[in-house]
Amino acid sequence: MNVWLLLSAVFASSCLLTNVLRRYALAKSLMDIPNERSSHTVPKPRGGGVAIVVAFAGALPVLAALGLLGMPLLTGLLGSGILVALIGFADDHGHIAARWRLLGHFIAAGWALYWLNGLASISFFGTSIDLGWFGNVFALIYLVWMLNLYNFMDGIDGLASAEAICVSLGACALYWLGGYTNLIWVPFVLAGAVAGFLCWNFPPARIFMGDAGSGFLGFILGGLALHAAWTAPELLWSWLILLGVFIVDATWTLLRRLMRGDKVSQAHRSHAYQYASRRFKSHRVVTLGVVVINLVWLVPISIFVGLGLLNEILGMLLAYTPLVFIACLFNAGALEEKADS
């Protein structure tokens, strides 16, 4: 099968399956009902992210058969990704206690790291550093955090989908320019799967992604970053730069809430993107704004770092500093009543 035909099939299947899931959610009353913690005002069906999972997971064995995906990555991504999606799907249909969800997330992360061979050596100011077992522990926490932060950031129409497409295609551009063409196809197919869902999720959304889709996306993107580091250590930094919008907003918000003593497991709407959507009274403006930040700022810096044209630490500082400023500008993590007044 031609890989471009596969990409078209992934996009079409994701788009069609999202429509099927939307009809199913409406028939079964699987609705996201607005409350004081919501960023939307109209009930919407949820669970459409399953289309992304099915379309992407179905394409991975085909990529392997075409010789474009190795068995360790195939086994690691499929096994852990499907487990994460199943946990999210079950939680979308009925609440699962946070401790059991977290346990499942760590099991999935452990499975992925086993097949990805843990954390590769890290490039630090031109020096390659092997962190040993500590690096593997860090990678485990990183994967679980990526999964959960993506859940946190999936709160307005189109945002999580647009971010995944920008990050995936940004990585593809980096791989193509850097000569890492063997790494291109997995993120390219992921972008196609998400694009099919985005046809129904672009503001104003007709269906929401749900935990099954958002957790899956965060986990897969995190896993692809760790995998890339085995090809070239600087590629890990490039991925962290590409993911900067979500990493900075979610992490900054969490740290502020922890310092204030908030119950971090409690639902809230104090991320920068949520404050921004209320200030501009538009999900579309914020989602498109994130796309612009990715394309104009983060993707070029990521490419410079990945090609060795910019030191990785300086690149991170250059990329993240404006993002922290934006998070502060929109009061990320602040008490909602005070910030909205």
What is the average pLDDT across 241-253? Answer: 98
Give the number of other CB atoms < 10 A from CB of residue 332: 27
Residue ranges covered by each domain of the chain: 3-32+41-340
Residues of the chain above pLDDT 90, percent: 82
Would you state the pLDDT for residue 1?
Answer: 58
pLDDT band at 95 (very low <50, low <70, confident <90, very high): confident
Would you state the pLDDT for residue 124?
Answer: 83
Judged against a pLDDT cut of 80, whether residue 206 lies above it is answered with yes
Would you state the pLDDT for residue 137?
Answer: 96
Would you state the pLDDT for residue 115?
Answer: 97
pLDDT band at 126 (very low <50, low <70, confident <90, very high): confident
Least-confidence region, from 48-62, 93-107, 248-262: 93-107
Would you state the pLDDT for residue 29?
Answer: 81
Judged against a pLDDT cut of 90, whether residue 257 lies above it is answered with yes
Whole-angstrom Cα distance, residue 184 to residue 175?
Answer: 6
Residue that wins the pLDDT comparison between 198 and 265: 198
pLDDT in tens, 288-325: 999 999 999 999 999 999 999 999 999 999 999 999 99
Would you state the pLDDT for residue 41?
Answer: 67
What is the average pLDDT across 174-200? Answer: 97
State phi, psi for 34 to the nearest 5 degrees. -60, 140
Q: Is the pTM of this model over 0.85?
A: yes
Would you state the pLDDT for residue 250?
Answer: 97
- Check: CB of residue 117 under 8 Å from CB of residue 72: yes
Judged against a pLDDT cut of 90, whether residue 42 lies above it is answered with no
pLDDT in tens, 320-330: 999 999 999 99
Judged against a pLDDT cut of 80, whether residue 164 lies above it is answered with yes
**Cβ contacts of residue 211 below 8 Å, gap of 6+?**
49, 87, 88, 89, 91, 92, 151
Beta-bridged to residue 122, according to DSSP, are 129
Judged against a pLDDT cut of 70, whether residue 190 lies above it is answered with yes
Would you state the pLDDT for residue 316?
Answer: 97
Whole-angstrom Cα distance, residue 119 to residue 301?
Answer: 23
Whole-number mean pLDDT of the chain? 93
pLDDT band at 136 (very low <50, low <70, confident <90, very high): very high
Would you state the pLDDT for residue 38?
Answer: 61
**Cβ contacts of residue 156 below 8 Å, gap of 6+?**
39, 40, 203, 273, 274, 277, 283, 286, 287
Judged against a pLDDT cut of 90, whether residue 125 lies above it is answered with no
- Per DSSP, the three-state class of 218 is helix
Residues of the chain above pLDDT 70, percent: 96
pLDDT in tens, 138-147: 999 999 999 9
pLDDT in tens, 43-64: 889 899 999 999 999 999 999 9
Whole-angstrom Cα distance, residue 247 to residue 244?
Answer: 5
Question: In the structure encoding, which two tokens stand for residue 66, read together?
Answer: 């075409």
